[in-house]
């Protein structure tokens, strides 16, 4: 297993390098990542390269058995480049170039930048291709910088549209330019749709896709060189979990595997079930349907101006185990030692400013030792989830451009289902709308706002063939170009779901003066009281059975939640957002019962369960995210791999405790 820390030899005197390398080896580390921000150190003047310092650092690391990933260092352009080629800096909406010095400030249609990126990539690849402890590459760093609004981006946008639509008539049709007299007579008339709240939603959607594609192309230019010069090396990139400015499926396509950067303690004052980091891990695994690495793992308090809370004893370890439980095969902490200079002086590494190996270092070392011992068993295993959630960047973008109801937000909606599945102890895969759904017993399609006919037809076939599908409000409103389908919703899913959405409305933001809610009442355990917030569809069941409706007088004819037996499967439809978490637990329980999915362990609150399987092994991870001891009912007579003890039927997990059962 690849374990280690992100290291910046260029930040420290050379006399210290040997100490760092020794301490890494003593911690059980075997891998580092180097040089993602070192462009100016490697090319101090245009076309003059200085690789000697990195050769020496690599040699020092090699002496202690430490391997390295190198990065294409393009996440921060040298000052000389910005000065000589000012067009390499992105242009803001206000017509001003970004001020150099905060990294991630590039215009990806700048020819000067693209050439410079290819030159440093090729020079590094040629120079380090045979260095024995270089094992692979990370492209750039966390793609997803600013959107650029310069003339060159505008011209490339026009070209991109020309390639996509072929004929101007086709673009005029796809964007619906008959509205507001927006018809284009030449490609050159097309402007950047700068105002996502005012410009044509179809144009805004294509502009977002174009921005994503520019990043993918910038990476692809580097990947092509690395593949050619260093065919023996792997190539990855450090993604940002649920970040959604780029289509991560596309960005992942050219890579061998995905890595991601995990900072779960930044947003939370207290330890808590880390459903966000869990769902991010599941998405990262889903991008290429294979295991991933953590390229930057939380090592201490983080922050640029104000730092966050510290990890409590055991928490750094439990954060790492959560990711391994969900498919991480590499664990690199960010960063090795806290830097004494620059904007990230307060972004803490395993070592403080003083360079001593204290508590956090020791906890990482303990984790590294345990993971190396587990590695032979982890080999060949991954998560094989019975449940899929469709994660669709087009829908995420289209909802942001035009939310419809107030407060409509993909991630909040998806999280309600995800968290209920997490509490139920069931693993989830994230999939594209066009993926094969056959492996899944149940599929959830939250906010599938953009619904091309082929996807709707595939979902229909899925349900007919025995699948259990859940869709919810505003499903299938638009086609792939962002035009509203001229049909009664849910359109081509009407048969599978057995409802007709006759009308719909926004309920406003709960708590705001104009906001209101409806009372939801259901049968049996769905009796409530539950509260419909944000959106309510006036949905008339056709063949579906209403499981819950609205108590308000004018809403009584309509259903809030329906279940439709269709073919050999079942289609659920939820036409509102329900405030109470318990509603989602009950809904998920029904879905899982229909789908015949039963978790191995139902965890107590605050405990996470995840199953890795393969190569004839099944490893069940249990992680206590609370600071109280937790008793978990587990199968008896199984080997707990961290203590080497057999389970008795109840397992005690201390604060931030972790267990791995071989089932
Ligand atoms: C990441 C980034 C690192 C470092 C870290 C802390 O997003 O890749 O370079 O900046 O955040 O801010």
CA distances from 498 to 458, 544, 549, 571, 574 (A): 16, 5, 15, 8, 12
Options 1.20.810.10, 3.40.50.880, 3.20.20.140, 3.40.47.10; CATH of 387-595: 3.40.50.880
| Ligand 1 atom 1 nearest Cα | 261
Would you tell me the crossing angle of helices 410-424 and 275-288 to the nearest 10 degrees? 100
pLDDT score of 105? 94
CA atoms within 13 A on the CB side of 217: 16
Q: Where along the chain do its domains lie? A: 2-147+213-375, 387-595, 607-662
Query: Residue 151 and residue 161: Cα distance in Å, rounded?
Result: 15
SS3 294: strand
CA dist 495 and 491 (Å) reads 9
What are residue 519's phi and psi, to 5 degrees? -85, 130
Q: Please choose from 296, 341, 347 the residue to mutate so as to test ligand 1's pocket, defined by most ligand atoms within 8 A of CB.
A: 296
Closest residue (by CA) to atom 10 of ligand 1? 344
pLDDT at 58: 98
Close Cβ partners of 195 (under 8 Å, ≥ 6 residues apart):
none
DSSP string, 378-430: HTT-B---SEEEE--HHHHHHHHH--SSTT--HHHHHHHHHHHHHHHT--EEE
- CA-CA distance, 435 to 100, in Å (whole number)? 41
Domain topology for 2-147+213-375 = TIM Barrel (3.20.20)
Give the CA count within 13 Å in the CB-facing half-sphere of 515: 13
> Considering only CA atoms, which of 444, 472, 449 is closest in space to residue 534?
472
Residue 70 corresponds to which tokens in the numbers above? Answer: 């190198």
CA distance 496 to 568: 11
Predicted confidence at residue 511, as pLDDT, reads 81
CATH of 607-662, one of 3.40.50.720, 2.40.50.140, 3.40.50.620, 2.60.40.1180: 2.60.40.1180
Looking at residue 512, its pLDDT comes to 85
pLDDT for residue 490: 98
Q: How many residues does the chain have?
A: 663
pLDDT tens figures, 92-103 = 999 999 999 999
Q: Which atom of ligand 1 is nearest to the CA of 240?
A: 7
Distance from Cα 339 to the centre of ligand 1, integer Å:
12
As a whole number of angstroms, the distance between CA 588 and CA 33 comes to 41
10-residue mean pLDDT profile of the chain (663 residues): values are 98 98 98 98 98 98 98 97 98 96 94 98 98 98 97 98 98 98 98 95 98 98 98 98 98 98 85 89 98 97 93 97 98 98 97 98 98 98 98 98 95 97 98 98 98 98 98 98 98 98 94 91 94 97 98 97 98 98 98 97 97 98 97 98 97 98 98
Q: Report CA(230)–ligand 1 centroid distance (Å).
A: 27
Q: Contacts by 418-423 with C-beta closer than 8 Å and gap 24+?
A: 418/275, 418/278, 418/279, 418/389, 419/273, 419/275, 419/581, 419/584, 420/581, 420/584, 420/585, 420/587, 420/588, 421/387, 421/588, 422/273, 422/275, 422/278, 422/608, 423/585, 423/603, 423/605
344 lines ligand 1 (CB under 6 A): yes
Rg over CA atoms, the chain: 26
Residue 117: closest CA among 235, 215, 254, 31: 215
């Amino acid at each position: 297993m690849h374990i280690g820390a992100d290291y910046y030899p260029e930040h420290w005197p050379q006399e210290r390098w040997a100490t760092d390398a020794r301490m890494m080896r003593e911690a059980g580390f075997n891998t580092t990542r180097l040089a993602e921000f070192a462009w100016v150190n490697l090319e101090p003047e245009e076309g003059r390269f200085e690789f000697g310092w990195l050769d020496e650092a690599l040699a020092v690391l090699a002496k202690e058995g430490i391997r390295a990933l190198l990065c294409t260092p393009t996440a921060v352009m040298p000052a000389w480049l910005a000065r000589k080629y000012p067009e390499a800096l992105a242009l803001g909406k206000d017509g001003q170039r970004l001020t150099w010095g905060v990294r991630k400030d590039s215009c990806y249609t700048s020819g000067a930048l693209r050439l410079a990126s290819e030159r440093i990539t090729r020079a590094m690849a040629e120079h380090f291709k045979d260095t024995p402890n270089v094992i692979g590459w990370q492209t750039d760093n966390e793609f997803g910088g600013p959107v650029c609004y310069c003339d060159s981006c505008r011209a490339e946008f026009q070209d991109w549209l020309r390639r996509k639509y072929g004929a101007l008539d086709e673009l005029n049709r796809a964007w619906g330019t008959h509205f507001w007299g927006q018809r284009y007579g030449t490609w050159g008339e097309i402007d950047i749709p700068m105002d996502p709240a005012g410009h044509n939603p179809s144009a805004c959607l294509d502009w977002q896709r174009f921005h994503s594609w520019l990043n993918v192309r910038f990476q692809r230019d580097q990947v092509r060189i690395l593949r050619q010069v260093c065919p023996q090396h792997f190539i990855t990139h450090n993604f940002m979990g649920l970040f959604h400015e780029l289509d991560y499926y596309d960005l992942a396509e050219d890579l061998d595997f995905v890595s991601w950067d995990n900072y779960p303690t930044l947003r939370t004052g207290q330890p808590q079930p880390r459903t966000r980091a869990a769902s991010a891990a599941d998405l990262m695994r889903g991008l290429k349907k294979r295991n991933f690495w953590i390229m930057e793992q939380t090592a201490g308090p983080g922050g640029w101006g104000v730092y966050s809370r510290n990890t409590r004893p055991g928490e750094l370890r439990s954060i790492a185990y959560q990711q391994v439980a969900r498919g991480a095969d590499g664990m690199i902490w960010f960063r090795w030692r806290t830097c004494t200079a620059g904007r990230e002086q307060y972004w803490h590494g395993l070592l403080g400013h003083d360079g001593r190996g204290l508590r956090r270092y020791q906890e990482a070392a303990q984790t590294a030792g345990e993971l190396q011992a587990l590695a032979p068993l982890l080999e060949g295993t991954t998560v094989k989830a019975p449940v899929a959630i469709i994660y669709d960047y087009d829908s995420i973008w289209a909802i942001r451009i035009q939310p419809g109801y107030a407060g409509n937000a993909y991630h909040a909606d998806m999280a309600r289902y995800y968290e209920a599945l997490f509490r139920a102890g069931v693993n989830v895969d994230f999939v594209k709308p066009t993926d094969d759904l056959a492996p899944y017993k149940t599929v959830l399609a939250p906010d599938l706002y953009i619904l091309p006919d082929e996807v709707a037809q595939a979902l229909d076939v899925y349900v007919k063939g025995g699948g259990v599908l859940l869709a919810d409000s505003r499903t299938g409103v638009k086609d792939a170009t962002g035009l509203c389908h001229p049909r009664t919703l849910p359109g081509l899913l009407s048969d599978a779901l057995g409802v007709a959405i006759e009308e719909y409305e926004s309920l406003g933001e709960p708590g705001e003066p104009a906001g209101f809610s409806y009372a939801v009442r259901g049968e049996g355990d769905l009796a409530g009281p539950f509260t419909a917030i944000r959106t309510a569809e006036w949905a008339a069941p056709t063949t579906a059975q209403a499981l819950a409706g609205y108590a308000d007088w004018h809403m009584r004819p309509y259903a809030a939640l329906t279940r439709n037996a269709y073919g050999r499967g079942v289609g659920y439809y939820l036409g509102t957002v329900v405030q109470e978490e318990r509603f989602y637990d009950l809904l998920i329980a029904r879905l899982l019962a229909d789908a015949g999915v039963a978790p191995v362990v139902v965890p107590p609150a605050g405990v996470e369960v995840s199953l890795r399987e393969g190569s004839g092994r099944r490893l069940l991870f249990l992680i206590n995210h609370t600071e109280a001891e937790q008793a978990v009912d587990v199968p008896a007579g199984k080997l707990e791999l961290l203590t080497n003890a057999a389970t008795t039927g109840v397992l005690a997990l201390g604060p931030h405790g972790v267990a791995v059962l071989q089932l």
